[in-house]
Structure 1
Amino acid sequence: MEMPQARTVSGLLIEQAERYGDIEALVGAGQRYTYASLWQRVRAFAKGLSTLGIGRGSRVAILMGNEPEWIIADLAICTLGGTMVAVNTWVTTRELAYILKHSDADGLVFADRFLKYDYVAMLGEIEPFAENVPRLKTLIHHGARGYGDSIPFDEIFERGRDVPDSVIDDAVAASLPDDIVYLLYTSGSTSTPKGVQIQNYGLIENMWALGNRMHVVPGDRLWLAVSLYWGLGCENALFNLLTHAGCVVLQSAFEPGEALRLIEEERCTLFYGTANMAQAMVEHPDFANRDTSSLRSGGTVGSPDQIARVIQLGAKEICHIYGLTETYGNCNVSDGRLDPPDKRHASVGRPLEGVVQRIVDRDTGEPVRTGEVGEVQVKRFVMCGYYKDEEKNREAYTEDGWFRTGDLGFYDEDGYLYFRGRIKEMIKTGGINVAPAEVEERLMAIPGIKLAYVVGVPDAVRDEVIGAVIIPEPGTTPDQTAISTRLKAELAAYKMPRRYCFIAERDLPLTTTGKVHKTKLPDLFASAD
């Protein structure tokens, strides 16, 4: 394939509609769009939005599950030169009010509900809008119920029916590669969420490189139950497929039986999700009767043992992804087809083409030697800053313009990156720093241990001691004494866990994006006392 020439979202849609018009681009909720019909649909919705005063500089939030309408609204907002604000589907009323106000959202496209969340009721709790979300003027609802004078989603197409083509053509012509098209909010587990500003060109260039690392080709089909609001969804997955003329097959919300059906019936070739999702599918009663052999590649995160679950599902060329929302969702990705087997999943791969990255000593800022752990810093591709937060921007960048990821890692002699945890997760016990990832790696090499998470547990004498949260393999009962004996032969004394907690995987505390909530793991030891 040739890399798309376009460096704007709207330009990419036009180019792909011309080059691959008959190839399917989007499937979900009974709807099917080719690249040609998707652009027509996006263009028609953008015309309708323009009648509501939405255009260049507008900020429109989206709050709904993985529906085709999410993607259509997203691409239409970008086409008009606006900024799409993605809202977590698990949002609370307080968080929704904060994001709508902080983002200066002019409009909101929302579903009436998603799973147990009633968004119509939430909007009622945010009132009065004039005081709590003063910029919010336009509401568009998808579903049976609206709120106030909100406009039904399908009515937007009718409103744009008489809008001349020149309105969209002018908006496309005015779009620039450096325009901010996405505002994605971090989970905010320890403070208020931060608004990550994403530009046109990075969505195309970085995701082109991502798709190449995964060997994506026109006609590939991606199963996607990962939430679109998450960077892994609307950054990585969507633009990986759009730049390579692939098809996104949406699942509104993850359910393993339905996931198996979609993968089989749609002949999905790419998996995007977590190891837990794969495990749930493999363990589902329908797995034995479903054909998932069409799966080939895709992206996931986790330990080699966790990634093995995805391979068991059928994606034998699965790639290991590393990145942050701030680095366009990914900056390092392993090659599940060509990388050496010993590096393919143990590392997170080499930097993608175009990525500028370094590892430095946290104290001196000097580059570290091969094999030495330091902070991962990125200069390209990186967000153009947090929205309306100069203090956090000063903290996030070095004086010479490198983004501080806050992650620890090292390069091997071949340039592969090995992730070694978050700086904030470093444990200081008896005055000595311990990286949790090193201890976790040794624990998960012990037979009978499925997963292990190492955290600092408050201690009156040592400030912190090392605690190990262990998830045993089904049907096994790990022996704490045997575990300690083995670790003593492999770890320095100060790295040894002094507290153990054995739990089932379902009892792990999770964030709203489905990640393990490490800041809550120490609480498990208190409850075990």
Structure 2
Amino acid sequence: MDNNGLYLNRPKARTIPALLAEMAARYPRQEFVVDGMRRMSYAEFQAEVEVFSNGLIALGVGRGDKVAILMGNQLEWLIADFAIINAGGVMVAINTYATARELKYMLEHSDSRALIMVDDFAGNNYREILANLKDGGNLSGLHNIIRVNPGSKNLPGSVDWAQIRDLGLKADHTQLGAHIAPDDVAYILYTSGSTSVPKAVQLQHYGLIENMWHIGERLHLRPGDRLWLSVSLFWGLGCENALFAMMTHAAAIILQGQFEPATALSLIEREQCSVIYATPNMVLSITSDPSFTAVRLKSLRTGATIGTPAQIKLLYDLGVAEICNIYGQTETYGNCTVTDAQDPLSLRSVSVGKPLPGVEIKVVDPETGMLCAPTETGEIRVRGYVTCGYLNDGGKNQATFDSENFFMTGDLGYLDSDGNLYFSGRLKEMIKTGGINVAPVEVENLLMSHPGVEQAFVIPLNDIQRDEIVAALVVPVAQSAVSEQELRLLCHDALASYKRPHRYLFIDSEQLPLTTTGKVKKLALPGLFEAN
């Protein structure tokens, strides 16, 4: 159940510039963003956005122009984001882990005419990468590079952030945001892939406002709430979900440039954060830090996460009593289902909740497209707040939507009789052993319920007799002496025989193959078994 604007009235704005103007008018002195020692209220942030937006217009940025952002979580990321959109442009979020090849692809594929960047971040020298790409005759459509706090080394053709700001102070563009429509594209976010180039997901103004309002309602957000945000802004969970859930509810965002558990604890404690957006591994890192004590997190009340029942309960036990389980993809405006903060913990720990208002979900047999009965596992398909399509990729658009215009997620799950969704894993990851389907996530959740297991990955291995057998790759908790025999007994008691792993491999977390965004490369895991 949503709280139906219990704490404030729903914003009337349907474009992002109008939303910022509305919230700045309603809550001018309310703090909006904290970045280290830098703080801005809603009104101060709006004023700074207008200045920088004027500067971008003076530089030649106009309606529909793509402008990319490449930097960690910092105040300038947010100012640039809103300024680009305020000028009528489209913000392109660039992954800070991107290699030179990936950066070249995203900038060229998106037709970005400008890039706003820092010189380096997390060991990546972007200035050098850009200089080399330019010297090689690449990025011919990139007309402007704007550097935030540039170093002493030159980057030909670039200008400083301060120069654009000075242009904005001298300019007068009274029609900022006036000609933007609710269904205009505001964002292009690239989804990461392990085997192919990223897909460019287009997101429209109205969806970023309306769907995020509904997410905030499920979380029971209220004016003055304070979100600790270490999740990267370039990810959908950051700039798509968290940002607008907070803004539509007059809440504040406390930025952490890059996740580090001790710093996270200090920020949450110092800023008295009440909202947390975090992945299970982040929570584990925080609670494992030598400086951790539960009292340092006492200000936390609500938030959004994904994870096993044990991982959800850990946050609950830490005092985040209204923690919510979420499900969605970048294409579905972050989340399409969210548990309500007041749902029983027994439901929030196993289900990802009911569809948000304006969202329809069906679960179908992936081969026939026929609707599944309640509790029957099938492919999750979504209609409503869904991407208007992938940029410059008509083929993927046709293959991604069914005949009823439902987005085919490629995820497995089921609906119960009350309409709650349960996530079961990825369709492509389904293991077929002896002709019977096994959802890896079910086995993984069981293995991770063992106190000696930190992570578990269940994958198929080729087998002459069964076509595929179930195999489990296990990362033990530090100093744990968990054995294969213990896990075999656990699975024997809880799983049907065909679901039980035939092979186990124990490794350290450092041995996991990762993508540039830190996700585990599932397709590379069978190679670890072969190597051992």
TM-score by length of 1: 0.95
Q: Which residue of 1 aligns with 2:163?
A: 155
Residue 310 of structure 1 is aligned with which of 312, 315, 329?
Answer: 315
Hey, what's the Cα distance between the residues in 2 that align with 1:259 and 1:290?
14
The residue correspondences of 1:351-362 to structure 2 (distance < 5 A) are 351-362=355-366
Hey, what's the Cα distance between the residues in 2 that align with 1:311 and 1:475?
25
Specify whether residues 16 and 447 from structure 1 end up closer, same or farther in structure 2 by C-alpha distance, changes over 3 A only. Answer: closer
- 2:113 is equivalent to residue 111 of structure 1: no
Q: Which runs of 5+ in 2 are unaligned?
A: 1-7
- 2:106 is equivalent to residue 139 of structure 1: no
Residue 266 of structure 1 is aligned with which of 266, 271, 288?
Answer: 271
- Is the 1:66–1:251 Cα contact (8 Å) retained in structure 2? yes
2:182 maps to a residue whose letter is P
Residue 172 of structure 2 is aligned with which of 160, 164, 170?
Answer: 164
Q: C-alpha displacement at 1:333, in angstroms?
A: 1.0
Q: C-alpha displacement at 1:364, in angstroms?
A: 1.6
SS of match in other structure, 1:357: strand
Hey, what's the Cα distance between the residues in 1 that align with 2:99 and 2:451?
41
Residue 326 of structure 2 is aligned with which of 321, 329, 337?
Answer: 321
Q: Per-residue displacement from partner, 1:284-317 (whole Å, max 9, x unpaired)?
A: 1222397221111111111112233433544222
Residue 384 of structure 2 is aligned with which of 377, 380, 386?
Answer: 380
Q: Which residue of 2 aligns with 1:341?
A: 345
SS of match in other structure, 1:17: helix
Hey, what's the Cα distance between the residues in 1 that align with 2:34 and 2:493?
53
Hey, what's the Cα distance between the residues in 1 that align with 2:527 and 2:133?
32
Q: C-alpha displacement at 1:67, in angstroms?
A: 0.8
Q: Which residue of 1 aligns with 2:4?
A: none
Residue 218 of structure 1 is aligned with which of 212, 223, 240?
Answer: 223
Residue 187 of structure 2 is aligned with which of 171, 175, 182?
Answer: 182
1:74 maps to a residue whose letter is D
- Is the 1:62–1:85 Cα contact (8 Å) retained in structure 2? yes
- Is the 1:230–1:513 Cα contact (8 Å) retained in structure 2? no
More deviation, 460-469/240-249:
460-469
Hey, what's the Cα distance between the residues in 2 that align with 1:469 and 1:424?
18
Residue 89 of structure 1 is aligned with which of 92, 96, 104?
Answer: 96
Q: Per-residue displacement from partner, 1:110-158 (whole Å, max 9, x unpaired)?
A: 00000100000110221247x4222110110012335212111122110
Hey, what's the Cα distance between the residues in 2 that align with 1:304 and 1:451?
14
Q: C-alpha displacement at 1:188, in angstroms?
A: 2.2
Q: C-alpha displacement at 1:489, in angstroms?
A: 4.1
- 2:253 is equivalent to residue 245 of structure 1: no
- 2:443 is equivalent to residue 439 of structure 1: yes
Q: C-alpha displacement at 1:361, in angstroms?
A: 1.2
Q: Per-residue displacement from partner, 1:148-199 (whole Å, max 9, x unpaired)?
A: 1211112211011222142xx2x42201000001000011221001100000
Q: C-alpha displacement at 1:18, in angstroms?
A: 0.5
Q: Supply the RMSD in Å over aligned alpha carbons.
A: 1.7
How many residue pairs align between the two structures? 523
Hey, what's the Cα distance between the residues in 1 that align with 2:218 and 2:340?
6
TM-score by length of 2: 0.95
Q: Which residue of 2 aligns with 1:195?
A: 200
SS of match in other structure, 1:106: strand
Residue 231 of structure 1 is aligned with which of 231, 236, 257?
Answer: 236
2:116 maps to a residue whose letter is V
Hey, what's the Cα distance between the residues in 2 that align with 1:361 and 1:307?
29
Q: Which residue of 1 aligns with 2:262?
A: 257
The residue correspondences of 1:44-63 to structure 2 (distance < 5 A) are 44-63=51-70
Q: C-alpha displacement at 1:474, in angstroms?
A: 4.3
Hey, what's the Cα distance between the residues in 2 that align with 1:319 and 1:343?
10
Q: C-alpha displacement at 1:351, in angstroms?
A: 1.1
SS of match in other structure, 1:60: strand
Q: Which residue of 2 aligns with 1:492?
A: 496
The residue correspondences of 1:424-435 to structure 2 (distance < 5 A) are 424-435=428-439
Hey, what's the Cα distance between the residues in 2 that align with 1:448 and 1:29?
37
Q: C-alpha displacement at 1:473, in angstroms?
A: 4.0
- Is the 1:225–1:254 Cα contact (8 Å) retained in structure 2? yes
- 2:396 is equivalent to residue 389 of structure 1: no
Hey, what's the Cα distance between the residues in 1 that align with 2:234 and 2:321?
27
Q: Per-residue displacement from partner, 1:240-273 (whole Å, max 9, x unpaired)?
A: 1111110111011011111111111111111111
Specify whether residues 447 and 58 from structure 1 end up closer, same or farther in structure 2 by C-alpha distance, changes over 3 A only. Answer: closer
Hey, what's the Cα distance between the residues in 1 that align with 2:264 and 2:486?
39
Q: C-alpha displacement at 1:481, in angstroms?
A: 3.0
- 2:517 is equivalent to residue 513 of structure 1: yes
- Is the 1:279–1:309 Cα contact (8 Å) retained in structure 2? no
- Is the 1:24–1:32 Cα contact (8 Å) retained in structure 2? yes
More deviation, 308-317/75-84:
308-317
- Is the 2:15–2:180 Cα contact (8 Å) retained in structure 1? yes
Query: What is the percent sequence identity of the aligned residues?
Result: 48
- Is the 2:62–2:87 Cα contact (8 Å) retained in structure 1? yes
SS of match in other structure, 1:51: helix
Specify whether residues 521 and 61 from structure 1 end up closer, same or farther in structure 2 by C-alpha distance, changes over 3 A only. Answer: same
SS of match in other structure, 1:121: helix
Q: Per-residue displacement from partner, 1:454-479 (whole Å, max 9, x unpaired)?
A: 11123344432211122334443233
Hey, what's the Cα distance between the residues in 2 that align with 1:396 and 1:289?
44
Q: Which residue of 2 aligns with 1:23?
A: 30
SS of match in other structure, 2:40: strand
Hey, what's the Cα distance between the residues in 1 that align with 2:237 and 2:496?
37
- Is the 2:470–2:500 Cα contact (8 Å) retained in structure 1? yes
- 2:84 is equivalent to residue 77 of structure 1: yes
SS of match in other structure, 1:339: coil
SS of match in other structure, 1:291: helix
Q: Which residue of 1 aligns with 2:3?
A: none
SS of match in other structure, 1:173: coil
Hey, what's the Cα distance between the residues in 2 that align with 1:362 and 1:374?
6
Q: Per-residue displacement from partner, 1:185-214 (whole Å, max 9, x unpaired)?
A: 011221001100000000000000000111
SS of match in other structure, 1:433: strand
Q: Which residue of 1 aligns with 2:210?
A: 205
- 2:82 is equivalent to residue 67 of structure 1: no
2:147 maps to a residue whose letter is H
Hey, what's the Cα distance between the residues in 2 that align with 1:211 and 1:509?
35
SS of match in other structure, 2:297: coil
1:64 maps to a residue whose letter is M
Hey, what's the Cα distance between the residues in 2 that align with 1:220 and 1:418?
29
2:297 maps to a residue whose letter is T
SS of match in other structure, 2:340: coil
1:271 maps to a residue whose letter is I
Q: C-alpha displacement at 1:526, in angstroms?
A: 2.1
